[in-house]
Amino acid sequence: MSTAWETVIGLEIHTQLATTSKIFSGSPTAYGAEPNTQANLVDLGYPGVLPVLNAEVVRMACKFGLAVNARIAPRSVFARKNYFYPDLPKGYQISQYELPIVFDGELQIETAAGDEKRIGITRAHLEEDAGKSVHEGFSQATGIDLNRAGTPLLEIVSEPDLRSASEAIAYMRKIHTIVRYLGISDGNMQEGSFRCDANVSVRPRGQAELGTRTELKNLNSFRFVEKAINYEIERQIDVLEDGGEVVQETRLYDSDKDETRPMRSKEEANDYRYFPDPDLLPVEISEDYIAAVRESLPELPDAKRKRFVDDYGLRPDDAGILILSLPLADFFEATAAATAAAPQVAANWVIGELSAALNRDGVAIADSRIAAGALARLLDRIEDNTISGKIAKEVFEAMWDGEGSADDIIESRGLRQITDSSAIDSVVDAVIAANPGQAAEYRAGKEKLLGFFVGQVMKETQGKANPAQVNEALKRRLKAE
Q: Of 157 and 283, which CB lies nearer to ligand ADP in the complex structure?
A: 157
At closest approach, how far in Å is the CB of 95 from ligand ADP? 11
Given 14, 90, 213, 217, the residue binding ligand ADP (CB under 6 A): 213
Q: Of 152 and 211, which CB lies nearer to ligand ADP in the complex structure?
A: 211
With a CB cutoff of 8 Å and minimum separation 6, the contacts of 131 are 39, 86, 87, 88, 89, 144, 145, 146, 147, 148, 149
Instruction: Please provide the DSSP assignment of 329-375 as one string.
Output: HHHHHHHHHH-SS-HHHHHHHIIIIIHHHHHHHT--GGG-SS-HHHH
Q: Give the integer Cα–Cα distance in Å for 148 and 184.
A: 17
User: Interface with ligand ADP includes 210 (CB under 6 A)?
Assistant: yes
Q: Of 210 and 292, which CB lies nearer to ligand ADP in the complex structure?
A: 210
Comparing CA positions, the residue from 145, 142, 175 lying closest to residue 158 is: 175
User: Interface with ligand ADP includes 9 (CB under 6 A)?
Assistant: yes
Given 95, 96, 185, 199, the residue binding ligand ADP (CB under 6 A): 199
Instruction: Name which of residues 18 to 77 contact ligand ADP (CB under 6 A).
Output: none
Residue sitting closest to ligand ADP (CB): 10
With a CB cutoff of 8 Å and minimum separation 6, the contacts of 395 are 378, 381, 387, 406, 409, 410, 413, 415
At closest approach, how far in Å is the CB of 115 from ligand ADP? 21
User: Interface with ligand ADP includes 10 (CB under 6 A)?
Assistant: yes
Given 27, 29, 38, 158, the residue binding ligand ADP (CB under 6 A): 158
Q: Give the integer Cα–Cα distance in Å for 451 and 457.
A: 10
User: In the chain, what is the straight-line distance between the N-terminal and C-terminal CA atoms, in Å?
Assistant: 63
Window contacting ligand ADP (CB under 6 A); options: 9-17, 66-74, 85-93, 185-193: 9-17
Residue type, 442: Y
At closest approach, how far in Å is the CB of 149 from ligand ADP? 22
Q: Of 210 and 468, which CB lies nearer to ligand ADP in the complex structure?
A: 210
Q: Of 22 and 176, which CB lies nearer to ligand ADP in the complex structure?
A: 176
Q: Give the integer Cα–Cα distance in Å for 139 and 150.
A: 27
From the CB of residue 9, how many other CB atoms can be counted at a distance below 10 Å? Answer: 25
CA dist 322 → 64, 221, 381, 395 (Å)? 21, 21, 23, 23
Length of the chain equals 481
Q: Give the integer Cα–Cα distance in Å for 428 and 475.
A: 10
The DSSP 8-state label assigned to residue 447 in this structure reads G
Window contacting ligand ADP (CB under 6 A); options: 26-34, 52-60, 195-203, 370-378: 195-203
Q: What residues form DSSP beta bridges with 176?
A: none
Q: Of 119 and 321, which CB lies nearer to ligand ADP in the complex structure?
A: 119
Given 56, 110, 159, 394, the residue binding ligand ADP (CB under 6 A): 159
The DSSP 8-state label assigned to residue 266 in this structure reads G
User: Interface with ligand ADP includes 251 (CB under 6 A)?
Assistant: no
> Count residues contacting ligand ADP (CB under 6 A)?
15
Q: Of 105 and 211, which CB lies nearer to ligand ADP in the complex structure?
A: 211
Q: Give the integer Cα–Cα distance in Å for 413 and 368.
A: 23
Q: Of 176 and 381, which CB lies nearer to ligand ADP in the complex structure?
A: 176
User: Interface with ligand ADP includes 164 (CB under 6 A)?
Assistant: no
Q: Of 51 and 105, which CB lies nearer to ligand ADP in the complex structure?
A: 105
Q: Give the integer Cα–Cα distance in Å for 467 and 458.
A: 8
Window contacting ligand ADP (CB under 6 A); options: 77-85, 155-163, 372-380, 445-453: 155-163
Window contacting ligand ADP (CB under 6 A); options: 37-45, 153-161, 423-431, 463-471: 153-161
User: Interface with ligand ADP includes 388 (CB under 6 A)?
Assistant: no
Q: Of 2 and 207, which CB lies nearer to ligand ADP in the complex structure?
A: 207
User: Interface with ligand ADP includes 260 (CB under 6 A)?
Assistant: no
SS3 call for 446: coil
Comparing CA positions, the residue from 283, 239, 331 lying closest to residue 96 is: 283
User: Interface with ligand ADP includes 201 (CB under 6 A)?
Assistant: yes
SS3 call for 99: coil
User: Interface with ligand ADP includes 12 (CB under 6 A)?
Assistant: yes
Q: Give the integer Cα–Cα distance in Å for 347 and 332.
A: 6
Window contacting ligand ADP (CB under 6 A); options: 133-141, 156-164, 312-320, 361-369: 156-164
Residues forming contacts to ligand ADP in the complex (CB under 6 A) are: 8-12, 157-160, 199-201, 210-211, 213
